[in-house]
A = this chain, B = another copy of it.
Amino acid sequence: MAPSTPSAIFESLGCCSPLSGNALSETDAESIAAMFAVLADPVRLRLLSLVANQADGVCACDLVTVLDRSQPTISHHLKVLANAGLLDRDKRGRWVWYTVRKDRLAPLGDLFA
């Protein structure tokens, strides 16, 4: 006989807790959400794309002038991106050069496959 309520449908599949099968764990969800939170800002997205479009990296001094934000704000966003592992930071004398970590970006794309 067919189950009548929604949860009964899941229970009829033979498992104890209906939906916990191959779903995201709480800790996995938190770490993935943290990565998406880093990407959930238009200024950071533009910084990331600006850096990604220059194979040899970009000087922070140029990033400050391009977007319409103050120097502390750009510095803050670059730090967030670097702390998330999406940008590599390379100090060369007085300047700081950033390059994109494609090996860190790719796994995020796999989540949508």
Contacts and interface: CB of A to CB of B under 8 A. Distances in A.
Chain A: interface size category: 35 or more
Contact of A6 (B5, B6, B22, B95): B95
Given A19-B54, A22-B49, A23-B50, 5 more contacts: A6-B59, A24-B46, A29-B45, A36-B39, A37-B40
Interface of A: 5-7, 10, 17-24, 26, 29-30, 32-34, 36-37, 39-46, 49-50, 53-54, 58-59, 61-63, 65-66, 95, 97, 105-106, 108-113
A57 to B, nearest CB: 10
Given A62-B19, A110-B109, A112-B106, A33 B45 contact: yes
